[in-house]
Structure 1
Amino acid sequence: MENKVSRWCLISMASIPLVMTLGNSMLIPVLPIFEKKVGISSFQSSTIITSYSLAAIFLIPVAGYLSDRFGRKIVILPSLILAFIGGVIAGFASWKMSDPFLWIIIGRVLQGMGAAGATPIILPLVGDLYKDDDEKTSSCLGLIETSNTFGKVLSPILGAAFAAFLWFLPFFSISFFSLISIILVFFFIKVPQGEKEEPKKLKEFLKNTKKIFKQDGKWLYPVFLLGIYAMLILFGVLFFLSDILEKVHDIDGVKKGFVLAIPLFFLCIASFITGKKIKGETKTMKRVILLSLAGISASVIFVGYVNKQLVLLLIVTSVLGIAIGAMLPTLDALITEGIEKEERGTITSFYSSSRFIGVAAGPPVMSLVMKELLNISYISAGIIGVLLILIVMKFIKGDNSNSASSNPAVTST
């Protein structure tokens, strides 16, 4: 019997990564404005992004466990409410306080806690809704990742536009978008009612998680590394672009938002097409990952060298965006389809947490290296990409046997 998922359910699920992406990426183009208004350094402004991501890193695995134990929707809704409250705190502090930096960070931590309990739960929820239909799962994950990347395209434009009106308005807008998502999730996401099982106790959960990583770690750890790498490169380059467009090319405000959106637009298109094409085929997924890594490695090394030539800079970063956009939904599908439903929330949460490590590290690392070690850092990123190609070739199978549950031989080597 086919499991029918309504269009509004899909829209509701897609709204969550969209809101959470806006919650982070929307602030990147306005960080230089925050530096001037709040009187903080480039490194301090980068912590406005990092504080959000650090909170998410540590709480995502907890949210994954809670979603497996008590249900996806029960975890998602309170998390979105936390994101709403965090935006209000950061916005109100910026509006009313003379020295709001600490309260901005507190608000951002609350938003990160909200992101921890909302975004990663979507991946296992998709798997629950489509059950054993890998093709529809891949397609829906492509839609979710496209929503995520569309948020990245929209966010610099919206962030710059809001900040041009009131510099702290982006914080309040995050709360507004969270409220819309809360309403959509509450009314339209209907979690399938299967046989009720006794929730796993913490001790049993830890034992099962350890067992999964022992069985499937050979391919799971590389996927986590790829998630960290992709987001580290993406957010490091976005932070660099935001800074260089203003200081070298004299582009700011809404115009800067549109320029920043160009490579993200290509990332969004690549993500959408890839989600439609991979169709649950592990061999195809591995090929896409390898080609994506080659594209990232070949393009990222040139970012520093072309930073004073705007057209070349946008071409290089757009190629980079295409490569990252193709890889992200592929990794989502590989994780979601390779793990059994009972542990899906836990493992996808670890994967989402690994992605947030890259998001957290990208801006501060870039703020530290872009003055004196810019080209060396980008060349190093390219070399790491080549090493990851070798790791993928060795440890990620291309024959639908990544999951140890489907092929016991995987654990014996």
Structure 2
Amino acid sequence: MTSQSSAAPHTGSGAGSGAGSGGRKGFVLVAAVYLLGLFIGALDTGIVTPARTVIQGDLGISEQLSVWIITIYTLAYAAAIPVMGKLADRSGRKYVYLASILLFGVGSLLCGLAQDVGSFGMLLVARAIQAVGGGGIVPVATAEFGTAFPPEKRGLALGLVGGVYGIANIFGASAGSLILSIFGQSNWQFIFYVNVPICAFIVVAGWFVLPNTKAEHVKPIDGLGIAVLVVMVLALLYGLKNLDFFNLGTSLTSTDVWPFLLGFVVLLPLFVLIERRAADPVLNLSYFRNRDIVVTLAISVISGVILMGIIFIPQFAENVLKIPAGSGGYVVIVLAAFAGVGAPVSGKLIDRFGVKVVLGFGLAASAAGALFLALVATQFPNLFTLVVSLVFIGIGMGFTIGTPLNYMMLAKTPLEESNSALATLSLVRSVGTAVAPAVLVAFIAHAGMAVPDRVMNVLPDPPAGPTMAQLASREGQDSGGGLPADLQQLMEGSDVTTIVGNVKKLAKTEIEQAAASSGMPTEAVDAAEQQYLSEIDQHASDIENTFQGTLDEGFRGAFLLVGTCSLVGLALLAFYREDKKSKKKPEKQPRNQA
């Protein structure tokens, strides 16, 4: 690979020479294998988003539990990143990358088989296996692109990486909806099976074309530091994940929260001590003494929150447009298109105008899109307001996620630490991606809890005898809750297209139970039932609008938080010092001759 041969801190062995002597053709093949891996790695985060509510209904889990389909991925991904980064330095990027692809493919296969078994637990374990593979795909491929190009072309190279990653991450939602449409919502397992043949192809092709780029001087791997860091990351993210931000005081006393947060605090000084004594620390503590790197890492956390805001857009689109669950991913293709254009353009603009201008524009656009969603689209739910929001968010994503932050991190760290520096960046971003879904879904879950009462208030008066409201009140008192369990469960499994049908189903059951207890003649029961169901149909618009408006209150809170985080990131960017004139340049080395 010609451009690789000029990178001082890394050498190509084996296949590397072939890539170098093969000229441009060899470079294109290497780039294609890395970019294809990046594509499927990013695709799988988005592809799950429209299927999340479908899987939730099929496996009979709650809204908050369903978010673990995504959160478990970010948790395991965060834990794997430092390990994979160091292994890539030691054993070479080729073997770590291909092993990661293999793990990702095996995890995808097991995710699909989890539907046949009907096990949510198996699905979570399989998603974790996928994530361990993902922890080697993105950082290793990004490091290869970030170091194989000279500094003046680095923005363009990382822009290409960011474009592929951004398109796949966001287009994944549309791909998920397409797969659900083709195979049916009852066969959601195929959203995972699509990865298997692609992974097999990458492993075979990569074995023959990828150079094994690795560090020239390899120090002993920091096994103890890696182990402690993994435990710390999992403890911190799991504890934060279980925090109820609407009931912070009580949740802090939960055994699912405080022991894990305390464990992180206790292990932190031990980890610092281990890293200070390590020959090659897994996490370079000097990063946190550099203001520019700290700013970069802080904005990286915020970028993770922005990225996770996207996972709720398909559900929001379904609610706004009143379309069936699982089909909202199609709408996100608007966002993917603008993000896909923005990412490579942002790389070119960085080379010309500098990273602060580009990232600042991206954060501002992300804030504008999220706030427009929260303040306008929820008040005036229609296709136009939704698309306007997605255009802004898409542009913001293209100019924010990936390219600028990778560029900033590489600009402030030595070239020989490229793998570890980008792994640190990804690790810190995973804090945002892990915590954000738990916080954002809390807004939606709290709004969903208000749905049954509000829907009951717009229903027509029921027929003579014990009314549905009276039955609900009596049964709620008996159970110590507010509404009957069956009503609550039915409402939780509803969307804007099924709410009227579910209300009619519930009304029919309640009328028959009331009639049985009062001894009413069958003919009278049938007549009363038909009359009442007809009245519900006449109130269908009110029921749907009430359901839609109540859920939109939850989406409003979630998107307001995303918009606020974007503005905070914009403020932090002011503290980053960019020196355009003193860019690091690799030491000159003779190019390989064909």
Q: Same fold (TM over 0.5)?
A: yes
Could you tell me how far apart the structure 2 residues matched to 1:47 and 1:262 are?
A: 26
Worse-matched range after superposition: 118-127 or 175-184 = 175-184
Q: Within the alignment, does 1:94 sit opposite 2:168 as a pair? A: no
- What is the match of residue 199 of structure 1? 219
More helix by share: 1
Could you tell me how far apart the structure 2 residues matched to 1:239 and 1:320 are?
A: 13
Tell me by how many angstroms 1:250 deviates. Answer: 2.3
- What is the match of residue 211 of structure 1? 286
Tell me by how many angstroms 1:336 deviates. Answer: 2.6
Worse-matched range after superposition: 18-27 or 348-357 = 348-357
Q: Identify the match of residue 293 of structure 1 among 350, 357, 363.
A: 363
Q: Which amino acid aligns with 1:333?
A: Y
* SS of the residue 1:204 aligns to: coil
Could you tell me how far apart the structure 2 residues matched to 1:366 and 1:201 are?
A: 38
Alignment of 1:312-323 (within 5 A): 312-323=385-396
Q: Identify the match of residue 267 of structure 1 among 339, 355, 358.
A: 339
Kept after mapping to 2: 8 A contact 1:129/1:191:
no
Could you tell me how far apart the structure 1 residues matched to 2:113 and 2:569 are?
A: 44
Q: Identify the match of residue 284 of structure 1 among 351, 354, 378.
A: 354
Tell me by how many angstroms 1:267 deviates. Answer: 1.0
Could you tell me how far apart the structure 1 residues matched to 2:337 and 2:46 are?
A: 13
Tell me by how many angstroms 1:170 deviates. Answer: 0.9
Q: Identify the match of residue 161 of structure 2 among 139, 144, 167.
A: 144
Question: Which ranges of 4 or more aligned residues in structure 1 deviate by more than 6 Å?
Answer: none
Unpaired runs of 5+ residues, structure 2, are 6-22, 223-277, 448-552, 587-594
- What is the match of residue 122 of structure 1? 141
- What is the match of residue 293 of structure 2? 220
Tell me by how many angstroms 1:10 deviates. Answer: 1.2
- What is the match of residue 574 of structure 2? 393
Q: Identify the match of residue 187 of structure 1 among 193, 208, 221.
A: 208
Alignment of 1:67-82 (within 5 A): 67-82=88-103
Kept after mapping to 2: 8 A contact 1:219/1:402:
no
Worse-matched range after superposition: 180-189 or 54-63 = 180-189
- Aligned CA distance change for structure 1 residues 177 and 387 (closer, same or farther; 3 Å): same
In the superposition, the TM-score normalised over structure 1's length comes to: 0.87
CA offsets 1:87-143 (integer angstroms, 9 cap, x no match): 111111212x1x31000000000001111122111122123323xx11332222111
- Aligned CA distance change for structure 1 residues 300 and 345 (closer, same or farther; 3 Å): same
Q: Which amino acid aligns with 2:279?
A: E
- What is the match of residue 233 of structure 1? 306
Corresponding pairs, count: 394
Kept after mapping to 1: 8 A contact 2:46/2:311:
no
Could you tell me how far apart the structure 1 residues matched to 2:362 and 2:84 are?
A: 30
Could you tell me how far apart the structure 2 residues matched to 1:71 and 1:190 are?
A: 9
Q: Identify the match of residue 343 of structure 1 among 410, 413, 417.
A: 417
Worse-matched range after superposition: 102-111 or 260-269 = 260-269
Unpaired runs of 5+ residues, structure 1, are 406-413
* Bigger RCO of structures 1 and 2 (CA < 8 A, at least 6 apart): 1
Q: What's the % identity of the aligned pairs?
A: 21
Q: Identify the match of residue 69 of structure 2 among 48, 61, 74.
A: 48
Tell me by how many angstroms 1:377 deviates. Answer: 4.3
Kept after mapping to 1: 8 A contact 2:305/2:562:
no
Q: Within the alignment, does 1:355 sit opposite 2:374 as a pair? A: no
Tell me by how many angstroms 1:264 deviates. Answer: 1.9
Alignment of 1:14-29 (within 5 A): 14-29=35-50
Q: Which amino acid aligns with 2:330?
A: F
CA offsets 1:287-314 (integer angstroms, 9 cap, x no match): 1112222222233222123132221122
Q: Which has the larger radius of gyration?
A: 2
CA offsets 1:345-391 (integer angstroms, 9 cap, x no match): 11100111223333333333222113255434433443333332232
Q: Which amino acid aligns with 1:320?
A: I
* SS of the residue 2:339 aligns to: helix
- What is the match of residue 160 of structure 1? 177
Could you tell me how far apart the structure 2 residues matched to 1:383 and 1:45 are?
A: 25
